[in-house]
Amino acid sequence: MSVRQAAAADAGDIARLLHDFNTEYGEPTPGVDALAQRMRELLAGDTVVLLAGDGPDGLAVLRLRSSIWTAGLECYLAELYVVPALRRQGRGRALMEAALELARKRGADWMELNTDEGDVAARALYERLGFKATAEYYEREL
């Protein structure tokens, strides 16, 4: 499975995948055009997107930032998505392995992520890759 790092020119594809992800799970989305613009902005900063397949058919969105606790960076996996028809064929694992490698190469010594309790397939993937469930995740709108 081919995985590559996205460029600003991929913002439309990234936006389409993110929009489809939120739509699939009943989450709000600002729409493809707004997401594409936002991704162009984020890709110029601390955000890295990995794309899988020729479609592309999946993505991993990573945020790298300085750590308080170590000299290395922290890496937050903000999103991992594979189109439904192509799941369970190794794309998610390929994206995660590429994300872990990229984070290490960029100087990260820690990766964190969160997922819904009911997303059994994603939880199983993360656990197979050595992630441990550690705490509740809280959020609120400001």
Mean pLDDT of 97-117: 94
Sorting pLDDT into bands at 50, 70 and 90, what band is 106? very high
Using DSSP's 3-state secondary structure scheme, residue 135 falls into coil
Say whether pLDDT at 22 is over 80. yes
Share of the chain above pLDDT 90, in %: 87
Q: Where are the domains of the chain?
A: 3-113
State the Cα–Cα distance between residues 101 and 96, nearest whole angstrom. Answer: 9
Are 45 and 73 spatial neighbours (Cβ–Cβ below 8 Å)? no
CA end-to-end distance (rounded Å), the chain: 40
Q: Which residues contact 52 (CB under 8 A, 6 or more apart)?
A: 1, 2, 3, 58, 59, 60, 82, 91, 94, 95
Say whether pLDDT at 136 is over 80. no
Q: Which CATH class is domain 3-113?
A: alpha beta
pLDDT digits (tens, 9 = 90+) for 52-78: 999 999 999 999 999 999 999 999 999
Between 130 and 1, the more confident residue is 130
Mean pLDDT of 81-96: 96
Average pLDDT, the chain: 94
